[in-house]
């Protein structure tokens, strides 16, 4: 058996087994010619042949493709994957199944997205040729979007309610001095701890010598659901729970942390320009009338309305320089006042008229339409004594319209009220555009945005007509 030996002499350049200057484009061919050929093996003297040896057949060229990711172990072949993934349209920031995205016109989706088809929008080819149908669809979606914005802003401004106190809660006093001193009470910040949850609440301590609160008013305050402009009770701090507390006995816990009273706020607010001060006064009275409207609906009324017992707090999620949130906290002077028939005098109208005159007299006279409207409202509160609901509607109209120029006293009442519908739809569209523009700029919502959104979401042609009639008839 012959063994493989290294040739003693290199092949000559004219050896037929080596090309003169070979050029290869295939790696397999190059490797085949680098190996020793049959001519390089040891042969017998008579076996050497001068016939040229043919080149080996070229190997098939390989095309290498760049992979998009690192290979995985045991990667299944593409032909073995038979499962077809469901097509999922992308709506806003999350993907949903088509069964969830396709909602009929009778049940519109909670949010309007650009991924919807024309069916849920209530539009068809026939409707597109009708401007009235297009306007009606846009108005309906604007109103629905306004309600959604209002609900989100309300949740942001009020925040999570801490809920009532329960056994096992611990308490710790944050400050030895009160954060706010009202006419009848002192407020101390307290931390309530339960396991890993904690809330900053306020202990409401009655002042020495203050009038004993009416038990019915405190029961009413404890039974009321959370309201944006009513002070909510969370329970009691038992006696002896806070060692070193500057009070004795059990005291009530409230959810909102006040910053000042309306009386203290007026000292600083009256130094503002007259136009800004009048606007701030209108927003404070609007919130007060909303709280009084809630009380009147429950058959209750305040015996005395005093600025030193009206608290102001910062709404959550708003800029620090925005308008404050008003809290009605004087439930010790609440009496039973059953609601009368529609059109009966409001129990709080005389007090609201007197308070409005007192506030307007603290600043320099203003010639703005809002100042003139507030003077007119103060006179109507004394003369007509409207309910807190009608007063709230009049303040909303003074702040955001419609103005007296829309009221045509010579026109019949029916056509004039129907003319308020286009105005309302226009205002809703402008408000949605304004909120979108501010949100795109990264601006935080303000309390005024939420109050205006609440007004335009709830307003009707009839309610706006009653407000204008109260102000200008």
Q: What is the pLDDT of residue 84?
A: 42
* Residue ranges per structural domain of the chain: 170-400
- Counting as low any pLDDT under 70, the low residues of the chain are 1-129, 160, 317, 319-320, 407-415
Report the distance separating Cα 78 and Cα 290, nearest Å: 66
> Residue 235: its pLDDT value, please?
85
| The pLDDT of residue 63 | 54
**Confidence at residue 291, expressed as pLDDT on a 0 to 100 scale:** 94
- The candidate with the shortest Cα–Cα distance to 286, out of 444, 154, 455, is 455
> 15-33, pLDDT tens digit by residue?
444 444 444 445 455 455 5
Q: What is the pLDDT of residue 378?
A: 96
Please report the pLDDT score of residue 224 as a whole number. 78
Candidate CATH numbers 1.20.1090.10, 1.10.3720.10, 1.20.1250.20, 1.10.510.10; the one for domain 170-400: 1.10.510.10
Contact between 224 and 164 (Cβ < 8 Å): no
What pLDDT score does 366 carry?
79
Residue in this structure with the two tokens 């050497």, named with its chain if needed: 48
Q: What per-residue confidence (pLDDT) applies to 57?
A: 62
- Encoded tokens for 373: 């409207």
Q: Quick one: pLDDT at residue 111?
A: 56
pLDDT at residue 26 in the model: 53
d(CA 35, CA 28): 11
Q: Which phi and psi angles does 408 have, rounded to 5°?
A: -100, 100
97 within 8 A of 88, measured Cβ to Cβ: yes
- pLDDT of 98: 34
How far, in Å, CA of 466 to CA of 449, rounded?
23
User: What is the DSSP annotation of 156-219?
Assistant: HHH--------TT-EEEE--SS-SEE-SSEEEEEEEEEETTEEEEEEEEEEPTTPPPPPHHHHH
């Amino acid at each position: 058996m012959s063994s493989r030996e290294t040739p003693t002499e290199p092949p000559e350049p004219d050896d037929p087994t080596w090309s003169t200057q070979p050029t290869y484009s295939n790696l397999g061919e190059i490797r085949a010619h680098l190996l020793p050929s049959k001519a390089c093996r040891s042969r017998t003297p008579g076996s050497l042949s001068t016939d040229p040896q043919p080149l080996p057949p070229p190997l098939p060229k390989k095309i290498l493709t760049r992979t998009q990711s690192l290979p995985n172990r045991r990667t299944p072949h593409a032909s073995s994957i038979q499962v077809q993934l469901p097509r999922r349209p992308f709506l806003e920031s999350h993907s949903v199944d088509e069964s969830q995205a396709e909602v009929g016109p009778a049940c519109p989706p909670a949010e309007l997205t650009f991924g919807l088809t024309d069916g849920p929008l209530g539009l068809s080819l026939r409707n597109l040729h009708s401007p009235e149908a297009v306007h009606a669809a846009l108005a309906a979606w604007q109103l629905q979007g306004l309600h959604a914005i209002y609900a989100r802003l309300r949740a942001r401004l009020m925040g999570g309610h801490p809920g009532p106190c329960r056994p096992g809660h611990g308490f710790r006093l944050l400050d030895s001095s009160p954060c706010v001193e009202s006419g009848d009470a002192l407020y101390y910040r307290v931390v309530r701890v339960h396991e890993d949850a904690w809330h900053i609440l306020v202990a409401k301590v009655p002042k020495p010598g203050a009038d004993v609160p009416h038990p019915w008013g405190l029961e009413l305050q404890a039974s009321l659901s959370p309201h944006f402009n009513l002070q909510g009770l969370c329970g009691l701090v038992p006696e002896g729970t806070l060692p070193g507390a500057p009070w004795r006995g059990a005291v009530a816990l409230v959810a909102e942390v006040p910053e000042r009273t309306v009386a203290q706020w007026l000292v600083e607010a009256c130094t503002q320009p007259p136009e800004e001060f009048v606007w701030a006064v209108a927003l404070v009275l609007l919130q007060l009338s909303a709280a009084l409207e809630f009380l009147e609906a429950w058959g209750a009324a305040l015996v005395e309305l005093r600025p030193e017992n009206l608290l102001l707090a910062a709404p959550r999620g708003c800029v620090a320089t925005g308008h404050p949130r008003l809290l009605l906290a004087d439930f010790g002077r609440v009496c039973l006042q059953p609601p009368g028939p529609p059109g009966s005098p409001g129990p709080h109208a005389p007090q609201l008229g007197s308070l409005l005159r007192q506030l307007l007299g603290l600043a320099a006279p203003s010639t703005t339409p809002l100042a003139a409207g507030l003077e007119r409202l103060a006179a109507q509160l004394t003369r007509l004594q409207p309910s807190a609901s009608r007063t709230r509607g009049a303040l909303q109209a003074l702040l955001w319209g419609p103005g007296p120029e829309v009221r045509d006293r010579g026109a019949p009442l029916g056509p004039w009220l129907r003319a308020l519908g286009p105005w309302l739809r226009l205002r809703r569209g402008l408000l949605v555009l304004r909120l979108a523009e501010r949100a795109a700029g990264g601006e935080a919502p303000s309390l005024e945005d939420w109050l205006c959104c609440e007004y335009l979401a709830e307003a009707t042609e009839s309610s706006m007509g009653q407000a204008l009639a109260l102000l200008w008839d």
